[in-house]
Amino acid sequence: MKRRLLLLFCFVIALAHCDFDNPATEKPTRDVDARLLGKWRTKDEVLEVTKSSDTMYGVLQTTNKDGQSNTSNYRAYHSDVAGFSLLTVKAHVHAGDAPYIYAVCQLSADGKTMTLRTVSTKAIPRGISTDDLPLLLKKHKDDSNLFEEVAKYERVNP
């Protein structure tokens, strides 16, 4: 079964070491992919991914841990950089200083499972500029520290 490398959402926001000061690209590099829309679930988390414009996703993240439910809103868009299909993700906050997160994922051929990996600051420094990011991604493309932990999401049937 062939898997396509897709850009998707880094919503493992608790991984603070995945935060970056700048977007991967200043603007979206392609339109919203309809295969990513809908509800996705892990044991403790639900993502509701919607289309907020032709190039922008809206994401509502609900986490449930220890009987506590927390909800957060994000904006995300595709950022194709140096051969990587990334998604630039940012919390939708009024302060405007929320960090960016970059991620890639594998979507199963049947579209029911996505495997998410976040770009790590172990290989790419937090303060990397948008202009310098392609050079470092190319340099570290085979580096085992380029990506963080894996998270698996299952699609929730409509």
Q: Is the pTM of this model over 0.85?
A: no
CB atoms within 10 A of CB 52: 14
What would the mean pLDDT of 111-130 be, rounded to a whole number?
91
Q: How many helices (H) and strands (E) does the chain have?
A: 1, 10
What is the pLDDT averaged over residues 63-70? 87
Q: Which of 2-6, 33-37, 53-57, 69-73 has the lowest mean pLDDT?
A: 2-6
pLDDT value at 113 more than 60: yes
Distances in Å between the alpha carbon of 121 and those of 19, 29, 49, 145?
Answer: 8, 23, 26, 8
User: Taking the domains of the chain in order of start, what are their residue ranges?
Assistant: 4-31+75-155
Instruction: Say which residue, 148 or 81, is predicted with more confidence.
Output: 81
> Is residue 133 within a helix (H) or strand (E), and if so which, with residue range?
helix 133-139
Least confident of 5-14, 80-89, 107-116, 131-140: 5-14
The residue count of the chain comes to: 158
Measured CA to CA, the distance from residue 43 to residue 45 in angstroms comes to 6
Which position has the token pair 């085979």? 142
The pLDDT of residue 9 is 40
